Amino acid sequence: MTRKQWESRIAKFLVGKKIKSARYLNDAEMESWGFDRSPVIIEFEDGSWFCPMRDDEGNDGGSLATSDVKNLPVIPVI
């Protein structure tokens, strides 16, 4: 897919949604996904969610840059 096609797809997914919650993945979710680091997960009112990952293969959680704070870091498992 081209960048324009992906941008259209992500716009259809995100635009107009209302955020229900924003939190870090819990231990059970991290274990289920095979993550060593806990990223932020944004949950929407319609049941869909958004979670940054290290790469597009899902190899661990990733940080999320914002316009308000430096970033929302991942939390390592200790």
pTM of the model: 0.81
Going by the DSSP 8-state scheme, the letter that residue 66 receives in this structure is -
> For residue 7, is it within any domain?
no
Residue 22 lies in a domain: yes
Indicate whether 13 belongs to any domain: no
Number of domains within the chain? 1
In Å, what is the CA distance from 26 to each residue of 29, 48, 53, 68? 5, 17, 15, 24
Q: Determine, yes or no, domain membership for 11.
A: no
pLDDT in tens, 25-78: 999 999 999 999 999 999 999 999 999 999 989 999 998 888 887 777 888 887
Domain assignment of residue 50, yes or no: yes
